[in-house]
């Protein structure tokens, strides 16, 4: 069941490696009748329906660094998304197909023009020494991009949580 006020990750909905917000009041399906699942069921795409929510990957993540003003610069970059919380970023990483994600780097990047975290994910674990991307790119309308509150979490050995 979609939890009222919950975001897409909390509801187990990840589409095309991007978290999306779900609002039952604004979802429309032309020509279809939408019937929500029974109230005791949660669903994560590609997984069986369960009666309990999927636990967060945060419980098994190892902190590599916190509160830096630079993000990871690595050849093993996989993808990124925007998330509201660090926990959502860790769950996004843990839910990538094939267990390919081993590291999550949530940070604030003013170039994204949002208050949400940029959640960059990588195949292998990293350390603070790899956090060398401080921004510095020119922004439309002037200004320069910056990276703040960057943290790193190794998820190697974590079981997928989706």
CA 30 to chain CA mean position, Å: 30
Q: Assess whether pLDDT exceeds 70 at residue 9.
A: no
Place 141 in a pLDDT band, splitting at 50, 70 and 90: confident
Q: Distance (Å, rounded) from C-alpha 109 to C-alpha 115? A: 9
User: Residue 38: inside a domain, yes or no?
Assistant: no
User: Residue 116: inside a domain, yes or no?
Assistant: yes
pTM reported for the whole predicted model: 0.65
CA atoms lying within 13 Å on the CB side of residue 75: 0
The conformation of residue 140, written as its DSSP 8-state character, comes to T
Question: How many domains does the chain contain in total?
Answer: 1
- Please list, residue by residue across 2-21, b when 16 or more beta carbons sit within 10 angstroms of its beta carbon and e when fewer do: beeeebbbbbbbbeeeebee
What integer pLDDT is reported at residue 143 of this predicted model? 87
Which residue matches tokens 């991307």?
A: 133
User: Residue 142: inside a domain, yes or no?
Assistant: yes
User: Residue 78: inside a domain, yes or no?
Assistant: yes
- Residues 38, 1: contact at Cβ < 8 Å? yes
67 Ramachandran zone, left/alpha/beta (phi>0; psi -120 to 50): left
Q: Distance from first CA to last CA of the chain, Å, rounded?
A: 15
**Beta strands 18-19 and 14-15: pairing type?**
antiparallel
pLDDT digits (tens, 9 = 90+) for 84-129: 999 999 999 999 988 899 999 999 998 777 889 999 999 999 999 9
User: Residue 97: inside a domain, yes or no?
Assistant: yes
What integer pLDDT is reported at residue 20 of this predicted model? 42
User: Residue 113: inside a domain, yes or no?
Assistant: yes
What integer pLDDT is reported at residue 58 of this predicted model? 81
Span 123-136, mean pLDDT? Answer: 96
What integer pLDDT is reported at residue 114 of this predicted model? 81
Instruction: Count the residues in the chain.
Output: 162
What's the token pair of residue 1? 């069941």
Q: Assess whether pLDDT exceeds 60 at residue 4.
A: no
Percent of the chain with pLDDT over 70: 64
* 86: containing domain: 57-154
- 142 or 41, greater pLDDT: 142
Q: Assess whether pLDDT exceeds 80 at residue 83.
A: yes
What integer pLDDT is reported at residue 55 of this predicted model? 67
The conformation of residue 139, written as its DSSP 8-state character, comes to P
pLDDT digits (tens, 9 = 90+) for 50-64: 434 456 788 889 999
**Considering the chain, what is the average pLDDT of its residues?**
75
User: Residue 150: inside a domain, yes or no?
Assistant: yes
């Amino acid at each position: 069941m979609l939890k009222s006020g919950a975001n897409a990750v909390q509801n187990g909905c990840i589409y095309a490696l991007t978290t999306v917000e779900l609002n039952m009041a604004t979802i429309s399906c032309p020509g279809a009748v939408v019937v929500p699942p029974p109230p005791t069921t949660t669903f994560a795409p590609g997984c069986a329906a369960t009666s309990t929510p999927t636990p967060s990957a945060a419980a098994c993540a190892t902190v590599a660094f916190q509160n830096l003003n630079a993000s990871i610069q690595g050849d093993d970059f996989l993808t990124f998304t925007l998330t509201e919380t660090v926990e959502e970023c860790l769950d996004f990483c843990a839910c990538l197909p094939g267990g390919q994600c081993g590291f999550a780097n949530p940070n604030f990047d003013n170039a994204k023009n949002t208050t949400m975290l940029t959640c960059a994910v990588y195949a292998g674990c990293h350390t603070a020494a790899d956090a060398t991307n401080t921004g510095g790119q020119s922004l439309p309308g002037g200004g320069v991009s910056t990276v703040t509150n960057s943290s790193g979490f190794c998820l190697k050995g974590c079981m997928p949580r989706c």
